Amino acid sequence: MQRISVFDIFKIGVGPSSSHTMGPWRAAERFLYELEAAGNLDSVASVQVELFGSLAKTGRGHGTDIAVLMGLRGEDPASCDTRHVGHVIRQTEMAGEIALLGRKIIPFDPAADLIFHYNRSLPFHPNGIRLSARLDDGSTVEGTYYSIGGGFVVREGEATGEDEITAPYPCMSAAEIADCCHGHGLSIWEMVRENERAWRDDVTIDAGLRRIWGTMADSIYRGCHADGDLPGGLRVVRRAQHMHRKLMDVATYHDRDSWIEAIRSRPRTFQDTVKWVSCFALAVNEENAAFGRVVTAPTNGAAGVIPAVLMHFVCAHQASEADSLRFLLTASAIGGLFKTGATISAALGGCQAEIGVSSAMAAAALTECLGGTVDQALMAAEIAMEHHLGLTCDPVGGLVQIPCIERNAMGAMKAITAAHIALESTPQNARVSLDAVIRTMWETARDMSDKYKETAEGGLAVQIPVNVAEC
């Protein structure tokens, strides 16, 4: 039975893209671990990496070249020092070599050994990456992988990259979630926790969820206190810090947790709420664009929506840490539905698959955490996605900055709106189900022109003249 864990949906990593950064990073690492398991790592004389389709077209803007080198070095995206990530290309060029998994040194020239096939795609998925290693005896070992969205990677011939486990409630649709929860008297987050127990015990689940929420909160905090231009050459100026300074006129905090307490204790108008939520979302995605540490939620490009709505829940509704963990569990159930029933890959479905899915996840989680029923939570996810259907992916300069950063603020506000509409609604009267919206999203994805699927060949990407300089 295939199941997706909350820890598959929420993965700690490095920006700017789950499919174009985290996926290739993991693919490169995985290729070397496979070589190591076969006893071949110490015999590697050279390595060549080929990027296909969307990975080639927007790869440089998304840091795919950087990610591949980090993966070849065996760096862990969840714990590596992110301050050095942006310099890895130049470091490798200057050294003329790379240490595979940090120990097997081989000559490597990024200009020659990292090949971007701008006009070639592999058949299975637009995000293809092929690695080949020449061994000392003259033989070659090759591996082809696909980055299928949200940091998930599959090897050629594998099915989905999901774990094969037996979960007690293996729901594959919103209708099944509703039936399961009603039948067993569970909320969505309780059902997800029961499933998680098939992998790990409660102590491990809670520790993992706390680490995810802590990383999300850290990314908001860092983004609210960082200024300057974002990397990539578009000269996009960070705005979260400026907004934050105006909102937090007097600094009465000394670290992240006292900062959260300071925000919680402030009186808030409707206008303040909009500004705070926007500020939180901008902060995360500015960090993401700057190769900072974020959590895929369910992707990096959409990494700001769920943290922004969750931080809003924590600050405006005085939510406890336990509430935050429940929020993440519920959100992951909705992300899993979209992953199995449609896609969370912008290269397959455009931005509806990123921002739309994250907004639906956040809407359901906020609804349930504010006391909504299971049906109201599913309805909130449906409302949030309904108003993202058809959203295209057209990143200017191939960078995850315009329209991506602001789009997270929009996704977060739509999620909050959807939650409050659902909380005031009777789901039994709804004419559109979440399952219908997931099917519609997938059909829309298949009808969408490839220009709008993370290729930077349509929309804003061709309307805005850019002269992106390497930096």
Task: Report how far residue 14's alpha carbon sits from residue 270's, in angstroms, rounded to the nearest whole number.
Answer: 33
Q: Tell me the residue type at 405.
A: I
Place of tokens 């997270």: 408
How many Cβ atoms from other residues are within 10 Å of residue 173's Cβ?
A: 16
Nearer to ligand SF4, 35 or 362 (CB): 362
Task: Report how far residue 393's alpha carbon sits from residue 350's, in angstroms, rounded to the nearest whole number.
Answer: 5
Nearest alpha-carbon partner for 166 in 340, 335, 3: 3
Min. distance of Cβ 61 from ligand SF4 in angstroms?
9
Nearer to ligand SF4, 304 or 427 (CB): 304
Min. distance of Cβ 364 from ligand SF4 in angstroms?
20
Min. distance of Cβ 242 from ligand SF4 in angstroms?
22
Q: Tell me the residue type at 273.
A: T
For the chain, give percent helix, strand, coil, nearest 5: 55, 15, 35
Place of tokens 């709106």: 417
Min. distance of Cβ 395 from ligand SF4 in angstroms?
4
**Interacting residues toward ligand SF4 by CB under 6 A:** 301-302, 346, 351, 354-355, 393, 395, 400, 403-404, 407, 454
Nearer to ligand SF4, 70 or 400 (CB): 400
Nearer to ligand SF4, 20 or 293 (CB): 20
Q: Tell me the residue type at 440.
A: T
Nearest alpha-carbon partner for 331 in 299, 355, 297, 303: 297
Min. distance of Cβ 298 from ligand SF4 in angstroms?
11
Strand partners, 2: 164
Nearer to ligand SF4, 240 or 393 (CB): 393
Query: What's the DSSP call for residue 453?
Result: B
What residue is closest to ligand SF4 based on CB? 301
Nearer to ligand SF4, 296 or 367 (CB): 296
Nearer to ligand SF4, 100 or 351 (CB): 351
Min. distance of Cβ 301 from ligand SF4 in angstroms?
3
Min. distance of Cβ 471 from ligand SF4 in angstroms?
19
Q: What DSSP string describes 27-80?
A: HHHHHHHHHHHTT-GGGEEEEEEEEEEHHHHTTTTTTHHHHHHHHHTT--TTTS
Task: Report how far residue 42's alpha carbon sits from residue 441's, in angstroms, rounded to the nearest whole number.
Answer: 47
- Enter the tokens of residue 441: 């999203």
Nearer to ligand SF4, 162 or 394 (CB): 394
Min. distance of Cβ 95 from ligand SF4 in angstroms?
31
Query: What's the DSSP call for residue 84?
Result: G
Strand pairing of 114-117 and 44-53? parallel
